[in-house]
Copies of this chain bind each other. A is one copy, B any other.
Amino acid sequence: MMEQNWSKKEKAIAKRAFENAYEKECKDLIEKIQKRASEAKGPPDIWRLRDFLTKRIKEIENKYDYRYSMLILVFARLMQEGWITVDEIEGLSEDKISKICHLAEK
């Protein structure tokens, strides 16, 4: 289902949307780290912050998979989580947008 052709124009749109989402999510993570760090009082908070950071980085590394065979699923997840909007993928084929939105609603 996910093997689709991506035109040059679509690739450019996808790349921008993907990179914007990545930047946004990392910015959000930095803010969360800053908050947790500023609230840290004692040793257990250091271990908790390490665990939080390790877990979130693993999630991000797994999630941001820029293979064209994966992009529909990746965008659906990013949309579901609020990191991209439908406006940002405007210009992709109707079929792709429809699949992304459909999967994001699940």
Contacts and interface: CB of A to CB of B under 8 A. Distances in A.
Question: How many copies make up the complex?
Answer: 2
What bracket does the count of chain A residues touching chain B fall in? Answer: 20 to 34
A57 to B, nearest CB: 5
Main secondary structure of the interface of A (DSSP, over half): helix
Interface of A: 22-23, 26, 29-30, 33-34, 37-38, 40-43, 45-47, 49-50, 53-54, 57
26 contacts: A22-B43, A23-B42, A23-B43, A26-B43, A26-B46, A29-B46, A30-B40, A30-B45, A33-B37, A33-B40, A33-B46, A33-B49, A34-B37, A34-B38, A34-B40, A37-B37, A38-B38, A46-B53, A46-B57, A47-B57, A49-B53, A50-B50, A50-B54, A50-B57, A53-B53, A54-B54
